[in-house]
Amino acid sequence: MESETFASYSHHLQTVAIATIFFAICLLFPKLTYQTSLAKLPLFGNWESGEKQRQLYLNHAKKIYSAGYEKFKDSAYRVATNDGEDNVVIAPRFLPELRKLPDSVLSFPKAIDKVMEVKYTKILTDAPMIVHSVKADLTPALARLNSVVYDEVVESLSEEIPACDDWTPVNMYMALANMVAKISGRVFVGPELCRDKDYLESAIQYTMDVIEVQRSVKLIRPWLRPILAPRLPAVKRLRKREQMAEDLLTPIIASRLEAERNDPTYKKPDDMLSWFMNRSADYGGHSNALLAKFQLGLIFAAIHTTTLTGTNILYTLASQPEYAEPLREEIRAVMAENGGVITTRALQQMVKLDSYMKEVVRFYPLGVTSFTRKVLRGFTLSNGQYIPPGVTIETPSHAVYSDPVNYSETAHVFDGFRFSKIREGGKAADHARNQFVTTNEQNLMFGYGRHACPGRFFAANEIKMLVAKMLLDFDIKNEGDSQERYPNIEMGRQTSVDARKNLLLKRVQV
Ligand code: HEM
Ligand SMILES: *[C@@H]1O[C@H](CO)[C@@H](O)[C@H](O)[C@H]1NC(C)=O
Ligand SMILES: *[C@@H]1O[C@H](CO)[C@@H](O)[C@H](O)[C@H]1NC(C)=O
């Protein structure tokens, strides 16, 4: 009996041991082949080690990627980043072959998982329904919605910007965030909620709460996170915020469904909430909680990106007063031709403004790299280099924007009308390739390929209307009369405007 127990015990031990070893080999083996194939790619920028290297990357990422771009135009290489892992940088000439790879090879959501601590921020990273609805419902609706959007621009501007009879300091980032939340809210949830105090607070604060959770989770050692992270005040606040979004939407969803049941003449509202509800059946049903989650996903993708881009443009305008008049002339002339408002046609006719916005993004890009993807299955580039599974790849977009090959010998100067000059008198292809919304190998602000930003048409319209209205109504300058543009803040591959700055505004007398 004893020996039998011992035998089975030892047998059991053996199985455990073998299983463990087998498991370890399975884990290790891909790791080994991964490391050897990764090691075959040239390493660039590893001048220091440990903390020193991390600091170097955090402070000089732009320079590191530019130098790498010059050195490796025709190949992929590794770069040591600040998170202790090497990323693989892919030269833009390979982008056309990468865009053909399916999601099972290159994953956009998986690339975000770790960076954004998705386990705790719970942001929606993979929502095909949202992408589909933005493409198939929102973008085609813009032609009929633009007049509503413009009304919201005018109204929110009158609410968020003071009288400014004399030079008045305005925190541009916060003013724009409030305006963008209202304008986007009109299109995302409709008129019932878009001016609701709690909705607006959520629309602005949600992304801030997410960033705060991401930051505080990263401060905890990885193995302690499952225990400690859920107890963080920031995490609890974020869970409350999610619940609040559901509570806000629930009565609106209910009253819309009821109206639909009872009123045969009921017309569904023209907004994303309505389109999401309408697509519910195709996607296996949407609970109120899920509909709220979709709205938060939209808010995360749309509000701060649009606000940052708008601030970036206005900071540039404030330091370049010579652009105000030529831009105003175009805006006034185009509006006069279109009944005094900014219609879809008017937006298309504002080529100088479109060019200026695009040049700001080229010259002061918010971000050093684009097209970040996690490699799920290894693949081989046309030059024979093997990219192993597990790595994160990226493209050096900032370096692309400064390349004289693409932007002539004037690449290093700011030329607000660079793109409108190419478009004026140009062929159809010149028009298509030189717009704010263009995405291709040289234009990467909205990403690239299958997962390029589907919201960029809406964002471009909204920003164009906001900047046009700001220009018409106000003279804009820096505090202290400085002509120097407020510098953007750089940290690793991230770049942001300095949201704490004020601009001075003075109403244009008519
Ligand atoms: C100026 C404002 C915006 C910027 C700079 C921006 C930028 C981006 C970028 C860089 C990506 C990743 C693309 C890639 O890696 O290939 C993206 C994805 C996305 N954006 Fe935007 N975005 C903006 C506004 C918006 C707006 C207003 C919406 C919604 C109406 C939106 C919805 C999305 C969605 C749903 C995705 C995910 C696409 C997918 O997974 O296939 N974005 N955006
Ligand atoms: C709702 O969906 C149906 C079928 O997909 C479509 O024909 C209809 O236009 C949609 N209605 C609205 C208001 O989006
Ligand atoms: C940018 O440069 C690449 C070569 O690096 C070239 O193929 C492409 O046509 C250029 N694009 C523009 C807009 O000049």
Ligand 2 atom at shortest distance from the alpha carbon of 282: 5
pLDDT at 23: 54
| Rg (the chain; Cα; Å) | 26
* Range with top average pLDDT, 46-50, 57-61, 148-152: 148-152
Residue 225 banded pLDDT, cuts 50, 70, 90: very high
pLDDT at 33: 62
Mean pLDDT in residue range 362-387: 96
Amino acid at 212: E
The lowest-confidence range among 151-155, 334-338, 422-426 is 422-426
Specify the residue with its C-alpha closest to ligand 3, atom 12: 406
Does residue 443 sit in helix, strand or coil? strand
pLDDT at 126: 86
> Could you tell me which of 156, 139, 144, 173 has the C-alpha nearest to residue 466?
156
pLDDT at 323: 98
Residue 9 banded pLDDT, cuts 50, 70, 90: very low
Percent of the chain with pLDDT over 70: 93
β-strand 386-387 against 168-171: which pairing, if any? unpaired
405 Cβ inside 6 Å of ligand 3: yes
Model confidence over 331-373: pLDDT tens digits? Answer: 999 999 999 999 999 999 999 999 999 999 999 999 999 999 9
pLDDT at 379: 96
Query: What's the gap in Å between 404 CA and the centre of ligand 3?
Result: 10
> Could you tell me which of 261, 311, 368, 284 has the C-alpha nearest to residue 503?
311
Model confidence over 446-471: pLDDT tens digits? Answer: 999 999 999 999 999 999 999 999 99
146 or 286, greater pLDDT = 146
Amino acid at 335: M
366 Cβ inside 6 Å of ligand 1: no
pLDDT at 235: 97
Kindly tell me the number of DSSP H helices and DSSP E strands found in the chain.
Answer: 21, 13
Query: What's the gap in Å between 407 CA and the centre of ligand 3?
Result: 9
Ligand 1 atom at shortest distance from the alpha carbon of 445: 10
Known binding positions for heme? 453
Mutate to test the pocket of ligand 2, among 256, 278, 282, 283 (most ligand atoms within 8 A of CB): 278
Residue 26 banded pLDDT, cuts 50, 70, 90: very low
Q: What is the DSSP string of 152-197?
A: HHHHHHHHHS---SS-EEEEHHHHHHHHHHHHHHHHHT-TTTTT-H
Mean pLDDT in residue range 118-138: 94
Residue 283 banded pLDDT, cuts 50, 70, 90: confident
Note the pTM of the prediction, 2 decimals: 0.92
Average pLDDT of the chain to the nearest whole number: 91
Mean pLDDT in residue range 148-163: 97
94 Cβ inside 6 Å of ligand 1: no
Known binding positions? 453
Ligand 1 atom at shortest distance from the alpha carbon of 297: 35
Query: What's the gap in Å between 136 CA and the centre of ligand 2?
Result: 11
Mean pLDDT in residue range 64-90: 91
Residue 3 banded pLDDT, cuts 50, 70, 90: very low
Count Cβ atoms below 10 Å from residue 372 Cβ, excluding itself: 18
Residue 440 is classified by DSSP as: B
pLDDT at 48: 77
Element (H, E) at 375: strand 370-375
pLDDT at 305: 95
Mean pLDDT in residue range 210-238: 93
Residue 37 banded pLDDT, cuts 50, 70, 90: confident
Phi, psi of 289 (to 5 degrees): -60, -40
In the predicted structure, residue 280 carries a pLDDT above the cut 70: yes
Give the whole-angstrom CA distance, residue 279 versus residue 308: 31
Mean pLDDT in residue range 46-53: 79
Query: What's the gap in Å between 80 CA and the centre of ligand 1?
Result: 27
In the predicted structure, residue 259 carries a pLDDT above the cut 90: yes
192 or 239, greater pLDDT = 239
Q: 68-79 burial, b for 16+ CB within 10 Å, e for fewer?
A: bbeebeebbbbb
Sequence length of the chain is 510
In the predicted structure, residue 5 carries a pLDDT above the cut 50: no
Give the whole-angstrom CA distance, residue 197 versus residue 159: 13
Does residue 503 sit in helix, strand or coil? strand
Give the whole-angstrom CA distance, residue 505 versus residue 484: 17
Pick the ligand that lies closest to the CA of residue 302.
1
Model confidence over 472-490: pLDDT tens digits? Answer: 999 999 999 889 999 999 9
Specify the residue with its C-alpha closest to ligand 3, atom 10: 406
pLDDT at 22: 55
Q: Does domain 127-366+402-507 have CATH number 1.10.630.10?
A: yes
Model confidence over 425-442: pLDDT tens digits? Answer: 889 999 999 999 999 999
Mean pLDDT in residue range 385-400: 95
In the predicted structure, residue 86 carries a pLDDT above the cut 90: no
∠ CA 189-192-193 to the nearest 5 degrees? 55
Model confidence over 229-248: pLDDT tens digits? Answer: 999 999 999 999 999 999 99
pLDDT at 6: 42
Specify the residue with its C-alpha closest to ligand 1, atom 31: 455
Mean pLDDT in residue range 399-419: 93
Q: Where are the domains of the chain?
A: 41-121+367-401, 127-366+402-507
pLDDT at 115: 83
Tokens at 5, concatenated: 């127990």
Count Cβ atoms below 10 Å from residue 21 Cβ, excluding itself: 11
